[in-house]
Amino acid sequence: LGKILDFEVPLKEKKSDKYGRIDLVAKDDNKQSIKLIELKIKAKNGNDETLLRALLEIYTYYKLINNSYDKFLIDYGDYGLSSDKYKRFQPTILTDQQSLSGITLLNIKEHPCIQALISKMNNEIGSQIEGFVYDYPNRNEPFKEVEHKIMLQGDITITQII
């Protein structure tokens, strides 16, 4: 996925804007891109979000921020970002493989409507939306709070699906 640069990045130009937040932003040296990552976890209360929701969120965030690419590079200049090295934003979904969105992503071939939507989105933005699932071995005690941050415990395996 690259090196994580930031999390919960607000998408507003002025205080009154009511847009959401990009969950994670990473730089991917191999693909020369800045990944905008929508993160989905398996909800303990069973209210998992769908892959459709994740797709619509990351597509919307991409559309809102894409025309501000140069401004973004300036704002994150301390990370050594330049338009010479990083050519574009890369919309990305990262989801728990046991969540509803993760199960759908793992079985994407059984969902032709979702595949068609992804294809249309890819054609419209001129880039491929990437999809990854993650798994971790310590599901009985998966989260630990450290200094107001929730952290997964144990090794995490990430697999690219789309």
Q: Give the pLDDT confidence of 49-65 residue by residue, as tens digits.
A: 999 999 999 999 999 99
Evaluate if residue 38 carries a pLDDT over 90: yes
Taking only the tens place, the pLDDT of each residue in 110-121 is 999 999 999 999
Tell me, what DSSP letter sits at residue 129?
Answer: P
Question: What separation, in Å, do the N-terminal and C-terminal C-alpha atoms of the chain show?
Answer: 13
- pTM exceeds cut of 0.85: yes
Evaluate if residue 142 carries a pLDDT over 60: no
Calpha distance 133→62 (Å, rounded): 20
Is the Cβ–Cβ distance between 122 and 128 less than 8 Å? Answer: yes
Q: Which amino acid is it at 64?
A: L
Is the Cβ–Cβ distance between 27 and 84 less than 8 Å? Answer: no
